[in-house]
Structure 1
């Protein structure tokens, strides 16, 4: 997946996150909306991680295509 494709996925997820947050803020969110918001946030973390991996591979002189989308458990367990 090229950087542009990763950016496109991130942009779509951010747009969905904002829409769901607006529903939550207005009090119109359903339980399904809240569940989806959590899923979207995990997916965002995974794709941001992929983008960071690709940049690190490139900076190290390696092929960014060697980066891979890590599972949610791995990404969510990172210490900030």
Structure 2
């Protein structure tokens, strides 16, 4: 996955995240919003991973390394990183 594809994926996920947050705020969720909250939590973890992958690729490029060597790290590793 190249940088453009990662950014496109991030954009799509951010759009989904907004829709889910809006649905929860408006009370449009099924089952008290449990399904939407679970989907939102999964999206947040995946977004953390995508941003981390993008940062890895950019750092490798900046330091003359092959950005294709960057790998998706487990969400437990990337959650809570500060920008």
- Normalised to the residue count of structure 1, the TM-score between the two structures is 0.92
What residue is the counterpart of 1:38 in the other structure?
A: 41
Aligned Cα root-mean-square deviation (Å):
1.0
Aligned residues: 79
What residue is the counterpart of 1:68 in the other structure?
A: 71
What residue is the counterpart of 2:13 in the other structure?
A: 13
Q: Which runs of 5+ in 2 are unaligned?
A: none
Instruction: Provide, for residues 8-65 of structure 1, a one-character-per-residue CA deviation record: whole Å limited to 9, x for no partner.
Output: 1101110100000001111222210011001001100000000000000001001111
Q: Using the TM superposition, name which of 40-49 and 69-78 deviates more.
A: 69-78
Q: Which runs of 5+ in 1 are unaligned?
A: none
Moved over 2 A (4+): none
What residue is the counterpart of 1:54 in the other structure?
A: 57
- Normalised to the residue count of structure 2, the TM-score between the two structures is 0.89
Q: CA deviation at 1:77?
A: 5.1
Report the CA distance shift for 1:66/1:12 in structure 2 as closer, same or farther (over 3 A): same
